[in-house]
Structure 1
Amino acid sequence: MTVKRKKKTPDPSSYRKRTYRNRVDHGALVSFEVRIRETDLQILAGKDLRDTAGAAVFQYRSQLESYIARHPEFATVLTPLPGDPTAPPIVKSMLGAGLAAEVGPMAAVAGAIAEYVGRDLLAAGAGEVVVENGGDIFFCRNRESVVGIFAGASPLSNRVGLKIPARCMPLGICTSSGTVGHSLSLGEADAVTVLAKDTALADAVATLVGNAVQPGQSLDAALAKGAAIPGVLGVVIIRGEELGAWGEVELVPL
Structure 2
Amino acid sequence: MKYIERTYRLLHRQEDLAFFQVLIKETDLDIGVLRSKLTPELVAGTRRQVMSVRSQLEQYIACDVTFVKTLKPYKPVPGAPEIVKLMADAATRAGIGPMSAVAGTIAQYVGGYLVKRSREVIVENGGDIYIRSERMRKIGVFAGPSPFTNRLALEIQPHQTPLGVCTSSGTVGHSLSLGRADAVVVLAPSAALADAVATAAGNLVQEEDDLQAAVDFALGIKSIIGAVAIKNDKLAAAGNIKLAPM
Band the TM-score falls in, shorter-chain normalisation: over 0.9
Larger deviation: 18-27 or 57-66? 18-27
Whether the aligned pair in 2 keeps the contact of 1:85 and 1:92 (CA below 8 Å) is: no
Whether the aligned pair in 2 keeps the contact of 1:186 and 1:210 (CA below 8 Å) is: yes
What residue in structure 1 maps to residue 127 of structure 2? 135
Aligned counterpart for 2:6 among listed residues 9, 13, 18: 18
What residue in structure 2 maps to residue 100 of structure 1? 93
CA distance in 2: counterparts of 1:138 and 1:64, whole angstroms: 19
* Cα-to-partner distance string for 1:102-138 (whole Å, 9 max, x where unaligned): 1100000000000001101122x12211000010000
Identity %: 49
- Give the 3-state SS of the residue equivalent to 1:186 in structure 2: coil
* Cα-to-partner distance string for 1:24-56 (whole Å, 9 max, x where unaligned): 443332210000000000000122221111011
Aligned pairs for 1:182-193 within 5 A? 182-193=174-185
Q: Return the TM-score normalized by structure 2.
A: 0.93
1:88 aligns with 2:81: yes
Displacement of 1:17 in angstroms is: 4.5
Residue identity opposite 2:43 in structure 1? R
Aligned counterpart for 2:197 among listed residues 205, 208, 225: 205
What residue in structure 2 maps to residue 156 of structure 1? 148
Aligned-residue RMSD, C-alpha? 1.3
- Give the 3-state SS of the residue equivalent to 1:99 in structure 2: helix
What residue in structure 2 maps to residue 165 of structure 1? 157
Displacement of 1:85 in angstroms is: 4.7
Aligned pairs for 1:237-252 within 5 A? 237-252=229-244
What residue in structure 1 maps to residue 215 of structure 2? 223
What residue in structure 2 maps to residue 29 of structure 1? 17
CA distance in 2: counterparts of 1:103 and 1:19, whole angstroms: 29
Aligned counterpart for 1:120 among listed residues 98, 113, 127: 113
Aligned counterpart for 2:187 among listed residues 175, 195, 198: 195
Write out the 4+ residue segments of structure 1 that deviate beyond 6 Å after TM superposition: none
Q: Return the TM-score normalized by structure 1.
A: 0.90
Figure out how many residues of one structure are paired with residues of the other and give that number: 238
Query: Which runs of 5 or more structure 2 residues have no equivalent in the other structure?
Result: none
Whether the aligned pair in 2 keeps the contact of 1:150 and 1:157 (CA below 8 Å) is: yes
What residue in structure 2 maps to residue 10 of structure 1? none
Whether the aligned pair in 2 keeps the contact of 1:52 and 1:121 (CA below 8 Å) is: no
CA distance in 1: counterparts of 2:212 and 2:159, whole angstroms: 28
